[in-house]
A and B are shown apart, each in its own frame.
Chain A
Amino acid sequence: MPIKSEPVEVNIGPQHPSTHGVFRMVAMIDGERITDVKMIVGYLHRSMEKLAEERTYTQNIPFTDRMDYLAAMTSNLGYCLSVEKLAGIDVPERAQVLRVIFAELQRIASHCMATGAFINDCGAWQTPVMYTFRDREKVLDLFEMTCGARITTNYMRIGGVAFDVPDEFLPALDMLINDDLPFRFEEYDQLLVGNEIILMRARDVGVVSPEMAINASLSGPMLRSAGIAWDLRKADPYSGYDQYTFEIPVGYNGDSYDRMVIRIEEMKQSLRIIRQAVHILPGGPHKTEVPLAIRPPAGEAYSRVESPKGEVGFYVVSDGGAAPYRWHVRAPSLINLSVLKEMTVGQTIADAIVTLGSIDINVGEVDR
């Protein structure tokens, strides 16, 4: 007698331990296999792009913290770059280097979070996330030392950075990037990269083909895992990234494992950049004096930076007033998420969770 079966609709999220916030996917499941996935976003929508139209350009910086709250520095940077481009503001040399230092520290912190949470999604019982959080905490300590906040830093300003670094910052940074983190990243290499269970769980899971990656406009580790060498720090350098020597790790398979390894390698490359940046850190002012209520000339500007999650772009339209006429954010989390269905259909639930973890979404940025 043939066994009759019918697909089951399973609601994964918005309240689920592994959806990284309030992301929701409705999966049709046949046994353990996923036959269809419907993504539902918007549970964290805060209407930031609209709210920004009522606030001055400087007042909008804190919004960018709350978008990608795991990589607030790079969001800040992208927004400030776009306003500077629009208003034609020059940034002092010291501020450029400080921005690079903090953006790369933020990349380390965000990738620590992504890697730990990814292994957690693979089913490890909180241990990797504790290890990576330990290193993330040290980076956040530096943030706190400099600007008083750990997560929502609000550190970049239009025309520079908010504060110069305190005296104790550089010794602490030196200890972090030369003593602590290199050792930790070697530890990640040994514990995670060769781990057979992680290989079994993440190899060939959530595969993105290069064509799919380009067609869906993916960016960040998602794109690079598919074998496409693309990094805005190299392709469209901003904040003086062209003066640093570093490499872009690129994968072969486009699977979850490649994305994890790429993140670990990128953290090492970030350390390289920070070392060079500390070496060339010039003196001088940390900020160009700009009026608090900037009134850029009417026009539009789009500037993009390579955030840990991918290309985060800020499109600002000015009508000459004190508030932007239109503000649009290209959020890498949302766009990287758009291929989730193609990646997960045909896999098991467990694979879907691993895939979602490897995309490294941030629901604050998905919904804005």
Chain B
Amino acid sequence: MTPRPLTLITDNWYDIRDLSNLSGKIEELIRDANGPHWAVWVVSALLGAIGIVAFIGGVAIINIWIERRVVGRMQSRLGPNRLGPFGLLQPLADAIKLMQKEVLQPKAADGLVFSIAPIAFTVPGIVIMAVLPWGRNMSLARLDVGILFILAMSSLGALAVFTGGYGSNNKYALFGAMRVIAMLVTYEIPSVLALLGLVLFSGTMDLADMVLFQEKFWIPLVLVQPLPFLIYFISSSAELNRTPADLAEAESEIAGGYHVEYSGMKFGLFYAAELINAVAISAIIATVFLGGWWFYKLDELVPGWMIFIGKIYAVYFLFVWTRGTLPRFRIDQLLAFAWKWMTPMAFANIIVVAAEVLIWDETGASAGLVLPLYIAFNMLFAGVLIVAWVRFMGPRFSRFPDRLRYFDRIDVPSLPAMRAPAPAAAAPKSGSGAPARSASEGGGDLRGGRLVGGPRP
């Protein structure tokens, strides 16, 4: 390890500011005791797994509170504030309530599939955490193809959702399941293409190396690659079933979708896994776009994993924000959005990135010169593409010059029974733009005609 003069982190095993110290110490102990070679791996893997599962458990509990609290603020209310300080014990109460509830299973449900789905849904979020770099030397499993692994795992969640929706033998759940598959097929492509741009640019598929790349060039990749960030954020929010794209559970349409038949702790698992997956996706974004555990000079003062968690929650806040703000797309609009906009843009981005990498390699220019240029160009490129799409390909809504017409007078046509005693029925023709039928000639006949009032003063 290179000496770090500014650092406060020591190499003592009890210094939890760098957790690799602890595993290093254990390794040392086992070696000293002439333990078997594989024991080192088993023990450190177990320790890491325990750590990650503990973190996930904590996250699932605390995120319920965070999400409800933050969305509560957005909705101009307080959110849970009764149990414990600031309502912090509310998630525990929820969990206890869910555990007490009976786990119902529809008679016609496919029992095995029905039971396995919530468990399968929690797995990807946990497994993704294992390959992420939590600090400088803190990957539980450092894979050469970490990005591939992450992409494969994050699409497993949709499979579990499909399983649950299909297995519960409910029409609403089946709708949710079908929508999930359509969205999976659609949104995998732009998200893979978005990450491919990053892989091209950083030249590695190893997540730890990607962080090191950002540390080396002193720049988070989100600045160099704003368009993939946008694309990946949108498509992952579709994969996560969060609100602009929560079609699989679409509460107002299909009443909860895939988890409509789940109750008790099975539902609780779905609920928790949704939050876990959101954190996992946030962690991916934090790693590849925001520089993971690195943040300029800060990682020499603060443990890397704390910076990483801070970034995770920054991204997670974005997810909560969109969830609290936006209405839902319709399924065809959502799929069209992916096919017509995100996929072509991701392709365009790959071409641009490939050209940039080629230029950088061929000219051998210094990073200090190239990167600001690329940042400026890519920002401009993303902006132009988005504006151009909205202008030329986007949906056109304004079919009429004005949204509404205003009438301050309504001429009532005389109905046959009313006509005799009402000479005032022969009101002057009003000068409005709509086809006006004179009250006197039209009589009570309203077919095709419109009752037209006077023009707006």
A contact set with B: CB distance below 8 Å: 8, 10-11, 16-18, 32, 119-127, 130-131, 134, 193, 195-201, 203, 210-211, 214, 227-231, 234-236, 245-253, 258, 261-262, 265, 348-351, 353
Q: Looking at the complex, which one of A121, A228, A252, A351 makes contact with B330 (CB distance below 8 Å)?
A: A351
Note all chain A residues with C-beta closer than 8 A to B251.
17
1/0 per position for B439-457, CB-CB distance to A under 8 A?
0000000111011110010
**Do B75 and A250 touch (CB < 8 A)?**
no
Q: Looking at the complex, which one of A126, A201, A245 makes contact with B329 (CB distance below 8 Å)?
A: A201
**Do A201 and B405 touch (CB < 8 A)?**
no
4 shortest interchain CB distances as A-B pairs:
A123-B328, A130-B75, A247-B406, A124-B327
CB distance from B225 to the nearest CB of A (A): 25
Can you sample 19 A-B contacts with CB below 8 Å? A8-B171, A18-B253, A123-B329, A124-B326, A124-B328, A126-B71, A127-B75, A127-B325, A131-B75, A134-B76, A198-B327, A200-B333, A201-B333, A211-B448, A231-B410, A249-B406, A250-B404, A348-B332, A350-B250
User: How far, in angstroms, from A265 to B456 measured CA to CA in the complex?
Assistant: 15
Inter-chain pairs besides A10-B172, A123-B253, A197-B244, 17 sampled, C-beta below 8 Å: A8-B171, A16-B255, A17-B251, A18-B252, A18-B253, A122-B252, A122-B328, A123-B329, A125-B243, A125-B323, A198-B327, A200-B395, A231-B410, A248-B408, A248-B453, A251-B404, A258-B404
Note all chain A residues with C-beta closer than 8 A to B456.
247
1/0 per position for B239-252, CB-CB distance to A under 8 A?
00001101000111
Note all chain A residues with C-beta closer than 8 A to B370.
none
CB distance from B255 to the nearest CB of A (A): 6
Note all chain A residues with C-beta closer than 8 A to B330.
200-201, 348, 350-351
User: How far, in angstroms, from A304 to B215 measured CA to CA in the complex?
Assistant: 73
Note all chain B residues with C-beta closer than 8 A to A258.
404
B86 part of interface (Cβ distance < 8 Å): no
CB distance from B452 to the nearest CB of A (A): 6
Among B74, B328, B400, find the residue whose CB has the most chain A CB atoms closer than 10 A: B328
User: How far, in angstroms, from A265 to B403 measured CA to CA in the complex?
Assistant: 11
**Do A250 and B407 touch (CB < 8 A)?**
yes
CB distance from B191 to the nearest CB of A (A): 21
User: How far, in angstroms, from A229 to B453 measured CA to CA in the complex?
Assistant: 6
B324 part of interface (Cβ distance < 8 Å): yes
CB distance from A130 to the nearest CB of B (A): 4
B254 part of interface (Cβ distance < 8 Å): yes
Taking A197-B327, A197-B329 as contacts, is the C-beta distance between A123 and B250 under 8 angstroms? yes
Note all chain B residues with C-beta closer than 8 A to A214.
446-447
Note all chain A residues with C-beta closer than 8 A to B434.
227
Note all chain A residues with C-beta closer than 8 A to B172.
10
Note all chain A residues with C-beta closer than 8 A to B410.
229-231, 234-235, 248
**Do A252 and B255 touch (CB < 8 A)?**
no
Among A236, A245, A252, find the residue whose CB has the most chain B CB atoms closer than 10 A: A252
B77 part of interface (Cβ distance < 8 Å): yes
**Do A229 and B171 touch (CB < 8 A)?**
no
User: How far, in angstroms, from A127 to B332 measured CA to CA in the complex?
Assistant: 24
**Do A350 and B243 touch (CB < 8 A)?**
no
1/0 per position for B209-243, CB-CB distance to A under 8 A?
00000000000000000000000000000000001
Note all chain A residues with C-beta closer than 8 A to B323.
125
CB closest chain-A residue, reference B336: A200
Q: Looking at the complex, which one of A229, A247, A249, A348 makes contact with B450 (CB distance below 8 Å)?
A: A229
B331 part of interface (Cβ distance < 8 Å): yes
**Do A124 and B243 touch (CB < 8 A)?**
yes
User: How far, in angstroms, from A121 to B235 measured CA to CA in the complex?
Assistant: 23
Note all chain B residues with C-beta closer than 8 A to A195.
327
User: How far, in angstroms, from A234 to B255 measured CA to CA in the complex?
Assistant: 41
**Do A247 and B407 touch (CB < 8 A)?**
yes
CB distance from A308 to the nearest CB of B (A): 17
**Do A10 and B171 touch (CB < 8 A)?**
yes
**Do B450 and A353 touch (CB < 8 A)?**
no
**Do A262 and B331 touch (CB < 8 A)?**
no
User: How far, in angstroms, from A357 to B324 measured CA to CA in the complex?
Assistant: 20
B175 part of interface (Cβ distance < 8 Å): yes
Note all chain B residues with C-beta closer than 8 A to A249.
404-406
B412 part of interface (Cβ distance < 8 Å): yes
Note all chain A residues with C-beta closer than 8 A to B447.
211, 214
Note all chain A residues with C-beta closer than 8 A to B446.
214
B409 part of interface (Cβ distance < 8 Å): yes
B38 part of interface (Cβ distance < 8 Å): no
**Do B403 and A261 touch (CB < 8 A)?**
yes
Note all chain B residues with C-beta closer than 8 A to A253.
399-400
Note all chain A residues with C-beta closer than 8 A to B392.
none
Note all chain B residues with C-beta closer than 8 A to A134.
76
Taking A229-B451, A261-B403 as contacts, is the C-beta distance between A122 and B171 under 8 angstroms? no
1/0 per position for B380-422, CB-CB distance to A under 8 A?
0000000000000001010110011111111010000000000
CB closest chain-A residue, reference B328: A123
Note all chain B residues with C-beta closer than 8 A to A251.
403-405
User: How far, in angstroms, from A16 to B171 measured CA to CA in the complex?
Assistant: 13
Note all chain B residues with C-beta closer than 8 A to A248.
406-408, 410, 453
User: How far, in angstroms, from A265 to B405 measured CA to CA in the complex?
Assistant: 11
Note all chain A residues with C-beta closer than 8 A to B255.
16-17
CB distance from B430 to the nearest CB of A (A): 10
Note all chain B residues with C-beta closer than 8 A to A201.
327-330, 333
User: How far, in angstroms, from A230 to B434 measured CA to CA in the complex?
Assistant: 14
User: How far, in angstroms, from A199 to B452 measured CA to CA in the complex?
Assistant: 27
Q: Looking at the complex, which one of B76, B329, B403, B412 makes contact with A130 (CB distance below 8 Å)?
A: B76
CB closest chain-A residue, reference B182: A32
CB closest chain-A residue, reference B409: A234
**Do B331 and A348 touch (CB < 8 A)?**
yes
Note all chain B residues with C-beta closer than 8 A to A265.
404, 406
User: How far, in angstroms, from A195 to B329 measured CA to CA in the complex?
Assistant: 12
Note all chain B residues with C-beta closer than 8 A to A122.
252, 327-328
Note all chain A residues with C-beta closer than 8 A to B71.
125-127
User: How far, in angstroms, from A195 to B325 measured CA to CA in the complex?
Assistant: 11
User: How far, in angstroms, from A323 to B202 measured CA to CA in the complex?
Assistant: 85
Taking A130-B76, A250-B407 as contacts, is the C-beta distance between A234 and B453 under 8 angstroms? yes
User: How far, in angstroms, from A287 to B410 measured CA to CA in the complex?
Assistant: 31
CB distance from A98 to the nearest CB of B (A): 24
CB closest chain-A residue, reference B449: A210
User: How far, in angstroms, from A348 to B450 measured CA to CA in the complex?
Assistant: 30
Q: Looking at the complex, which one of A197, A261, A350 makes contact with B326 (CB distance below 8 Å)?
A: A197
Of residues 314 through 362 on chain B, the ones whose CB sits less than 8 Å from some CB of chain A are 323-333
CB closest chain-B residue, reference A15: B255
User: How far, in angstroms, from A120 to B250 measured CA to CA in the complex?
Assistant: 11
CB distance from A271 to the nearest CB of B (A): 15
User: How far, in angstroms, from A126 to B403 measured CA to CA in the complex?
Assistant: 26
User: How far, in angstroms, from A122 to B246 measured CA to CA in the complex?
Assistant: 12
**Do A120 and B329 touch (CB < 8 A)?**
no
**Do B400 and A252 touch (CB < 8 A)?**
yes
